[in-house]
């Protein structure tokens, strides 16, 4: 036989070269293009987000600088220092001084509508308090007690030696019987008061509480249009300001760098977050803005979709070109496939009579030889061996029956009882009972009484396995005990509740199982207080129950049960799921009373 010419292999080589190389090139190009576009978008979005945070930071710094300037009025008010020191010649002069301080604090507090409380704690003769939370209230008090002077906030203010000390948004330090609205969080700051007309010693402490709504409004505006959040953290990474007061005074979960500003990508609650921060010049706090990275770069999805369409188009072109080159191979392949299909169906008389001098000619000759050889082997050995194997299997099957299994499990059960291995005894007894009811003489249906026993046997095994992981409350309407139901639709629902709900829960769980009547229907309910099902996962399960596609493995058990019920009773019956993420799941199986 002459050696086949090289051109006869060009079609195959070109098909591989065109299809594989072009497809891989298109995929790599699309992947790199999308990643680069996504990177550029992230950089641009991050820059805009940082500018937004920096602008908001400047607004906050202006507000806090204005707060600081307010305190200078009190810091240098001569009559206030005179009242704190008690430098009066008589009671009349004291009264005059008190009236002037009242007017001064009233003017100070009313100059801005955001002042809540002004506390002036004197250490010598008197202290003062002016409140605007409900109605203007001025009071003169005794000098601050030594016990209060030891409190952390008081010592911080004194140690600052006249410089402002910022405490952020928090509950008031002063716990008094004040109206309920005064118990709301306030923005606190303070500074030490000095005897500036005397020896310069500290004579008291000023503590000012401001309505935080203006600061919270600024924080709420920094959302990057992507469900973001903004907070203020101090140098100890403690939250001292947020827009809604939910995370105040709690540690910030992410560690920020020592740089004054920056952009970081961090994982928070299993989500990739873009974190933008900028340091305040006035007190070393950091303004932090956070938003899900996917939300910020959601515009890149359009690029991804466009890239996908473009790659698909070029791939189609590559396939067409490869097909044009390879179509000359199509005819001999079809001849070989048709002959192989006949052999697969048992026709070993088939032969390929198409004579070729290329590689397909070699394949055709090999196929003809193979089919003839298989036919010979079948006649000589295969039938005899199959018959022998079938007889052996029948002999083995005849020795294994239900009674043998029950007796063996029962023996193990009593041996465990004798040796006081109660956990094994319980599990073996439950398994034995479970197998007995499951086999049920080959019947497809059992009574509700038997279904309850089947579930109880299964639970007895699982309780030993999980120990005190969960408790079970089983409720059965006795009027339902004699109704017949499908055998294998109850236990898998209980198993799902244990494995997917309670097993992942921290601590002990609860499982409620009920056979009840509702509106003339038999309802089997399985309720657990486990981890629940996320909304996305619940949507996927509901779509799976409505689908007739059994080729996918996801949620196969639930689809199987639902299909069994609808085939047996009708499409109006089946499964109903209700779940809240983190708050448990309720699965209801609805059957007719028949």
What does the pLDDT look like over 141-159, one tens digit per residue?
889 888 888 899 999 999 9
CA distances from 191 to 53, 69, 71, 104 (A): 28, 12, 8, 18
Rounded average pLDDT over 370-385: 68
**Greater confidence, 514 or 374?**
514
Q: Which residue has the tokens 């399960």?
A: 541
Tell me the three state secondary structure of residue 483.
coil
Phi, psi of 577 (to 5 degrees): -115, 135
Is pLDDT above 80 for 5? no
Q: Is the pLDDT of residue 186 over 70?
A: yes
Q: What is the mean pLDDT of residues 6-27?
A: 65
> Of the given ranges (165-174, 190-199, 421-430), which has the lowest mean pLDDT?
421-430
Given pLDDT bands bounded at 50, 70 and 90, which one contains residue 53? confident
This model's pTM is above 0.85: no
The answer to which of 4-8, 134-138, 327-331 has the lowest mean pLDDT is 4-8
pLDDT of residue 7: 46
As a whole number of Å, the CA-based R_g of the chain is 41
CB-based contact 435:450 (threshold 8 Å): no
Task: Read off the pLDDT of each residue in 473-491 and give the average, rounded to a whole number.
Answer: 89
Q: What pLDDT, on the 0 to 100 scale, is given for residue 119?
A: 92
Q: Average pLDDT in the 565-590 region?
A: 89
Highest-scoring range by mean pLDDT, 45-54, 297-306, 512-521: 512-521
DSSP codes, 48-109: HHHHHHHHHHHHHHHHHHHHHHHHHHHHT-HHHHHHHHT--SSHHHHHHHHHHHHHHHHHHH
């Amino acid at each position: 036989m002459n050696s086949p010419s090289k051109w006869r292999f060009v079609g195959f080589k070109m098909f591989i070269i065109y299809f594989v190389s072009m497809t891989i090139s298109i995929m790599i190009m699309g992947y790199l293009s999308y990643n680069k576009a996504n990177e550029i978008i992230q950089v641009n979005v991050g820059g805009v987000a940082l500018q937004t945070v920096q602008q908001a930071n400047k607004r906050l710094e202006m507000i806090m600088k204005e707060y600081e300037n307010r305190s200078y009025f009190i810091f240098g008010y001569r009559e206030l220092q005179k009242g704190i020191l008690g430098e009066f010649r008589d009671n009349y002069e004291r009264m005059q001084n008190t009236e002037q301080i009242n007017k001064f604090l009233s003017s100070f507090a009313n100059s801005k509508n955001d002042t809540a409380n002004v506390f002036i704690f004197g250490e010598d003769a008197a202290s003062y308090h002016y409140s605007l939370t409900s109605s203007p209230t001025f009071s003169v008090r005794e000098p601050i007690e030594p016990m209060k002077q030891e409190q952390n906030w008081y010592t911080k203010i004194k140690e600052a030696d006249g410089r402002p000390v910022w405490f952020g948004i928090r509950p008031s330090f002063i716990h008094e019987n004040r109206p309920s609205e005064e118990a709301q969080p306030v923005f606190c700051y303070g500074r030490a008061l000095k005897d500036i007309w005397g020896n310069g010693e500290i004579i008291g402490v000023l503590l000012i509480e401001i309505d935080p709504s203006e600061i919270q409004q600024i924080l709420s505006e920094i959302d990057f249009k992507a469900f973001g959040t903004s907070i203020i953290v101090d140098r100890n990474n403690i939250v001292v300001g947020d827009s809604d007061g939910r995370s105040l005074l709690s540690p910030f979960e992410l560690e920020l760098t020592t740089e004054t500003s920056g952009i970081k990508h961090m994982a928070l609650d299993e989500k990739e977050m873009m974190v933008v921060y900028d340091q305040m010049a006035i007190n070393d706090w950091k303004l932090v803005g956070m938003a899900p990275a996917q939300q910020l770069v959601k515009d890149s999805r359009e690029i991804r979709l466009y890239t996908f369409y473009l790659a698909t188009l070029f791939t189609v072109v590559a396939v067409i070109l490869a097909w044009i080159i390879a179509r000359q191979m199509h005819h001999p392949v079809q001849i070989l496939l048709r002959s192989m299909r006949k052999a697969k169906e048992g026709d070993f008389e088939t032969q390929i009579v198409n004579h070729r001098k290329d590689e397909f000619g070699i394949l055709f000759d090999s196929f003809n030889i193979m089919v003839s050889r298989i036919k010979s082997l079948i006649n000589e050995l295969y039938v005899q061996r199959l018959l022998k194997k079938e007889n052996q299997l029948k002999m083995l099957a005849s020795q294994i029956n239900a009674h043998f299994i029950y007796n063996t499990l029962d023996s193990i059960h009593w041996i465990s009882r004798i040796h006081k291995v109660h956990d094994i005894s319980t599990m073996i007894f439950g398994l034995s009972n479970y197998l007995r009811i499951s086999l049920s003489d080959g019947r497809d249906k059992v009574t509700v009484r038997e279904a309850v026993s089947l579930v109880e046997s299964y639970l007895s095994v699982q309780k030993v396995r999980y120990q005190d992981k969960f408790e079970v409350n089983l409720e059965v309407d006795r009027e339902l005990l004699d109704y017949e139901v499908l055998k294998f639709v109850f236990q898998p629902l209980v198993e799902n509740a244990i494995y997917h709900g309670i097993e992942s829960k921290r601590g002990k769980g609860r499982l409620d199982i009920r056979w009840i009547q509702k509106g003339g229907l038999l309802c089997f309910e399985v309720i657990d207080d486990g981890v629940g099902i996320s909304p996305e996962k619940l949507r996927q399960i509901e779509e799976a129950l409505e689908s007739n596609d059994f080729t996918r493995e996801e949620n196969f058990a639930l689809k199987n049960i639902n299909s069994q019920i609808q085939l047996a009773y009708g499409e109006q019956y089946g499964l109903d799921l209700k779940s809240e993420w983190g708050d448990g799941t309720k699965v209801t199986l609805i059957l007719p009373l028949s």
